[in-house]
Structure 1
Amino acid sequence: MAVAKQSPFESVTINLEHDIDEQYQYQPGEIIRGKIVIHLHRSTLVESVYLTITGEGICAWEEEYVGALESKEIYIDASQAIFDAEGLARYLEKGFHQFPFEYRLPDNVPSSFIGKFGSVTYILKAIVQGERQGDTTIATEPFLVMRKYLLPDELSEPLKTKLAKTYFSMCSWGKVNADIHLNRTGFVPGEDICLQAEVQNHSPLRITAIQAGLLMESTYRAQKNIIAYKQIVNKRRDDYELIDGDGRRWQNVRIGIPAYVPESFLEGCDIIDLSYKFQFRIELSSGKELKTEIPITVGANPRGLELPGPERKDDVNIHWTMGPRDLAKQQMEEQREMSAWTIASPEFRDREQVMNPLFRNESEKLSNGDRPHVGNAHNEDSYDEIAPDYPGSKEDTRL
Structure 2
Amino acid sequence: MHPFTRVRGFAVQLDGHPGGGTVYRGGEVLSGQVVLDVAKRVKVRALAVCARGLATAHWLEGKSVGMNTIYSDYTAFQTYLRRKTHLIPDNGDVTVLQAGRHEFPFTFQLPESLATSFEGKHGSVRYWVKAKLHRPWSSVKKAKKDFTIIEPIDINTPALLAPQAGAKEKLARAWYCNRGLVSVSAKIDRKGYTPGEVIPIFAEIDNCTTRTVVPKAAIIQTQTFVARGTKKQKKSVVASMVGDAIAAGKREVWHGRALKIPPVGPSILQCRVIHVEYALKVCIEIPGTSKLFLELPLVIGTIPLHPFGSRTSSVSSQYSVSLDWVRMGIPEEPEAPPEYSSVVSSEGPLETLSPPAQDNGPPGILEGPFFAYIQEFRFRPPPLYSEVDPNPQSDAAIRPRCMTC
TM-score, normalised relative to structure 1: 0.64
Q: Which has a greater percent of helix?
A: 1
SS state at 2:288 partner: helix
1:310 matched to which residue of 2?
A: none
The question of 1:236 aligning with 2:240 is answered yes
SS state at 1:106 partner: coil
The question of 1:145 aligning with 2:144 is answered no
Gaps of 5+ in 2: 64-70, 304-315, 323-359, 372-404
Task: State the 1:5 CA deviation.
Answer: 2.3
SS state at 1:155 partner: helix
Change (3 A) 1:193 1:16: farther
| Partner Cα separation in structure 2 for residue 356 and residue 59 of structure 1 | 14
Q: Quick check: 1:192–1:257 contact (8 Å CA) kept in 2?
A: no
Change (3 A) 1:131 1:349: farther
Correspondence for 2:279 among 273, 277, 280: 277
| Partner Cα separation in structure 2 for residue 270 and residue 121 of structure 1 | 15
Task: State the 1:169 CA deviation.
Answer: 4.8
Q: Quick check: 1:169–1:204 contact (8 Å CA) kept in 2?
A: no
Q: Which moved more, 1:28-37 or 1:229-238?
A: 229-238
1:294 matched to which residue of 2?
A: 296
Change (3 A) 1:233 1:20: farther
Change (3 A) 1:74 1:161: closer
**AA matched with 2:152:** K
1:63 matched to which residue of 2?
A: 61
1:339 matched to which residue of 2?
A: none
Correspondence for 1:78 among 76, 83, 102: 83
The question of 1:89 aligning with 2:95 is answered yes
Gaps of 5+ in 1: 307-346, 361-398
The Cα offsets for residues 233-272 of structure 1, whole Å up to 9 and x where unpaired, read as 6221327654425665554413316453244x22xx3333
TM-score, normalised relative to structure 2: 0.64
Task: State the 1:32 CA deviation.
Answer: 0.6
| Partner Cα separation in structure 1 for residue 59 and residue 185 of structure 2 | 40
Q: Quick check: 2:41–2:97 contact (8 Å CA) kept in 1?
A: yes
Task: State the 1:357 CA deviation.
Answer: 3.8
The Cα offsets for residues 281-326 of structure 1, whole Å up to 9 and x where unpaired, read as 12232352010112223445483149xxxxxxxxxxxxxxxxxxxx
Change (3 A) 1:244 1:52: same
The Cα offsets for residues 203-234 of structure 1, whole Å up to 9 and x where unpaired, read as 22333561321332424132xx2113142362
Q: Quick check: 2:123–2:225 contact (8 Å CA) kept in 1?
A: no
Alignment of 1:355-370 (within 5 A): 357-359=368-370
2:230 matched to which residue of 1?
A: 226
| Partner Cα separation in structure 2 for residue 81 and residue 300 of structure 1 | 36
Task: State the 1:111 CA deviation.
Answer: 3.1
| Partner Cα separation in structure 2 for residue 280 and residue 16 of structure 1 | 46
1:181 matched to which residue of 2?
A: 187
| Partner Cα separation in structure 1 for residue 136 and residue 243 of structure 2 | 67
> How large is the RMSD of aligned CA atoms in angstroms?
3.6
SS state at 1:34 partner: strand
Question: Taking CA–CA contacts closer than 8 Å with sequence separation of 6 or more, which of the two structures ends up with the larger relative contact order?
Answer: 1
| Partner Cα separation in structure 2 for residue 16 and residue 262 of structure 1 | 28
Q: Share of identical aligned residues, percent?
A: 19
Change (3 A) 1:46 1:197: farther
2:313 matched to which residue of 1?
A: none
Q: Quick check: 2:206–2:251 contact (8 Å CA) kept in 1?
A: yes
2:120 matched to which residue of 1?
A: 115
2:210 matched to which residue of 1?
A: 204
Aligned length: 308
Alignment of 1:31-50 (within 5 A): 31-40=29-38, 42-47=39-44, 48-50=46-48
1:383 matched to which residue of 2?
A: none
| Partner Cα separation in structure 2 for residue 143 and residue 221 of structure 1 | 25
| Partner Cα separation in structure 2 for residue 62 and residue 172 of structure 1 | 44
Q: Quick check: 1:208–1:283 contact (8 Å CA) kept in 2?
A: yes
| Partner Cα separation in structure 1 for residue 136 and residue 41 of structure 2 | 7
**AA matched with 1:196:** F
2:381 matched to which residue of 1?
A: none
SS state at 2:369 partner: helix
The Cα offsets for residues 179-224 of structure 1, whole Å up to 9 and x where unpaired, read as 42212112355544332334443422333561321332424132xx
**AA matched with 2:142:** I
